[in-house]
Chain A
Amino acid sequence: MRFRPPRPDSPKRVLGYLAGLVLFGIVGAIALAYTGLYNIAADHGHPPPVYWFLEVGMTRSIELHADNDEVPPPAAPGLARLGAGHFAGGCEYCHGKPGVPPDPISRRMLPMPPKLERASDHWTQGELAWILDHGIQASGMPAWPSQVRADEVWAVVAFLEELPNLSTAEYERMVAGNARLGARSADEITDWGEAEASLTGCARCHDTPDAPPVSTLVPRLGGQSRDYLLAALKQYHLGDRESGFMMPVAAALDAAQRSRLADYYAALETPPHEQAPPDEGAVARGEQLALFGDKDGMIPSCRSCHGEGARADYPKLDGQSADYLAQQLRLWQDGVHGRSEAGRIMATIAQRMSAEQVKDSAAYYASRPAFAPGGGTRQARADGAP
């Protein structure tokens, strides 16, 4: 049989051209990589077509992967302030702050980390949460430090929503949290030892002698048991307890610093959380569980481990915020917490609790007079203010 070439407009012919084109593209791309002709210098910039390609590709990818139907968790009081505290330590050196360009080193990244004042116009909340949780490949934008705490990124999303309205001074005040950087005298600043510097970092989010934690999702540390504080810092340091807020902070602390911080906070008198008065019915049910447990559910009374006379490495719960307590219990239920030795005890118990019992016991402990150094308590004022 004689070979007859297909007619120029036959589908077979068109397919052949296409295949040839794809092959040419692949060979071309490999050749480009091997010859090293493309200049990848960060200061060289992308040629406009490449820039267009990367920009559109990134935007479309985020729009496709982000889940816009995901409802953010109900906003806890101070959520944006917690996000601000993290922003100052984890984002500012790349993305800069209102009125001030990013630091000269990160300005030389390619792509240059964009200013984020417009981010909340440009992206939906779901997209921002996705970017913060997953990061952006090959750009320098990192994923969230803990890959099992997608719940935490919402605090930073809340902060990005507020960022466009902030002046430089307002920004500084917000990210400093309770640290009052501006109020320090020059002498104090030059005298900073290591622990002092770390403390400044902690006060961005945690309690100080004259202020409760910036958010109800941040635990109160003042007067907490020393051994527990020390154990918690070690767990974050080793990555045995997952938190994108605390792991970066604790990674930098050595054993001596952790010990000094635990001493400092265990002895510190701080005002209780500012939180809405909890629901009376929930408090009553929670009290029942806390004092007597639930025999059928195999839940011992919380008091047997969190009451008077408990081990020093068990935490005090009295007056801690309901949002924080319930969140921690859910983390055990979901298997996120529970890798540490102490965590495995609490995980066993939390996993036996119903959603109702979590809410009720959190409400009960939140309603109690707050713990204070050495077993004392601090009574919250009736209106919830310190």
Chain B
Amino acid sequence: MKRAGPLLLLLLVAACAGPQSALSGAGSGSGRALLLTIVMTVGFTAVFALVLGLTALAIFGPQGWRERFGREGWVYGLGIAFPVVVIGALLLWGFAILGADEALADAEDPVRIEVTGERWWWRVTYLTDDGRRVESANELRVPVGRTVELALKSADVIHSFWLPAYAGKTDMIPGRTNTLRFVADEAGRVRGQCAEYCGGAHAFMAFWVEAMPEAAFEDWLEHEAGPPPETSFPDGETVFLSSGCGGCHAVRGTPGASGEIGPNLSHVGSRTSLGAGIMPNDREAFVRWVADHQEIKPENNMPPYDILNDEELAALGAYLEGLQ
């Protein structure tokens, strides 16, 4: 029993690690909030221990100590002055930390990204400096060290955008735009999730965010804005177009694939995951998604495609993977 306590604590802490942890503090705001949390926890634990110690001393201590504690000065000193000073300081510091994010609003030249919650995936649109709208889905890429300004919207019901490594939850409300700002401190990949029940497949509505060096980000965005390389799997493209996938999904530069109902697939093969953060992204996963998505992600809004045979599925998998 004696050893179980620390072990349990260790397990709990381990569960908090990983790409979707509120304790990773990977962004400027979340980093300061983490520091505040640690200072508070450690500081007040020390205060608590001090109070317990003094109480014990006052009850069980030697006669001399007990007499000394009888004096009124202790009440003024430790009972009033100490809490006022300590709590007051922490409060001011806390305000400063929470206020620091507001300063991000004045940042010059933030990266502007529109994220729209749809049942049950994320439409992601980059607004470039020269006024273009570059649409993608289910994944965000952001430059390190530059303010990111997200315009959060909803296409249907209330969703909540939760990216614990960088910031707290922000609701996505139909007919409104909420703004969320953060700065990624270092390169890396973290995960986020919808945190407001939005019906059927809510539990399968996650996303990945990759923070990358500024120059790499600019190159990536330029590539993302363009069409994918010419496909080496024309058979797969034929299955894609003739089966009506293009009525819901867009592939830039491909006539007949300009649908805006489902995720933009122009570069789907280069994303981290499929189905909004729930599956790996490789050829086999593409085949599984098209063949079984209603079993993998029940009630999602893509029609079931049980008509496709193995050959057609394989061709589609190769084609989709090639959309880099």
Contacts and interface: CB of A to CB of B under 8 A. Distances in A.
Contacts of A314: 242, 244
Given A293-B259, A300-B248, A305-B247, A310 B242 contact: yes
Interface string B224-263: 0000000000000000011110111000000010011100
B305 interface: yes
A313 interface: yes
Interface string A299-335: 1110111000111011000000000000000000000
Contacts of B306: 341, 344
Contacts of B304: 341, 344-345, 348
A310 B239 CA distance: 9
A314 B241 CA distance: 13
B246 A345 contact: no
B303 A304 contact: no
B307 A341 contact: yes
Given A293-B261, A304-B259, A309-B242, A345 B247 contact: no
A342 B260 CA distance: 22
A295 interface: yes
Contacts of A299: 261
Contact of A345 (B241, B242, B256, B303): B303
A349 interface: yes
B128 interface: no
A298 interface: yes
Contacts of B24: none
Chain B contact residues: over half helix, strand or loop, or mixed?
loop
A310 B244 contact: yes
Contacts of A345: 244, 303-305, 307
Chain B interface size, under 10 / 10 to 19 / 20 to 34 / 35 or more: 10 to 19
B301 interface: yes
Contact of A342 (B246, B256, B307): B307
A349 B304 CA distance: 11
Contacts of B307: 313, 341-342, 345
Contact of A295 (B243, B260, B301): B260
B303 A348 contact: yes
Given A341-B306, A342-B307, A298 B301 contact: yes
A96 B307 CA distance: 44
Interface in B292-308: 301, 303-307
B303 A344 contact: yes
B303 A298 contact: no
A386 to B, nearest CB: 31
Contacts of B248: 300, 304
B256 A309 contact: yes
Interface in A261-308: 293, 295, 298-301, 303-305
Interface string B25-47: 00000000000000000000000
Interface in A239-254: none
B244 A309 contact: no
A344 B305 CA distance: 8
A249 to B, nearest CB: 24
Nearest to A301: B247
Given A293-B261, A342-B307, A304 B256 contact: yes
Contacts of B259: 293, 300-301, 304
Nearest to B303: A348
23 contacts: A293-B247, A293-B259, A293-B261, A295-B260, A298-B301, A300-B244, A300-B247, A301-B259, A304-B246, A304-B259, A305-B244, A310-B244, A311-B242, A313-B307, A314-B242, A341-B307, A342-B307, A344-B306, A345-B244, A345-B304, A345-B305, A345-B307, A348-B303
Closest 10 pairs (CB-CB, A-B): A304-B247, A300-B247, A305-B244, A348-B303, A341-B306, A304-B244, A345-B303, A311-B242, A341-B307, A300-B248
Given A304-B248, A305-B247, 4 more contacts: A293-B261, A295-B261, A304-B259, A305-B244
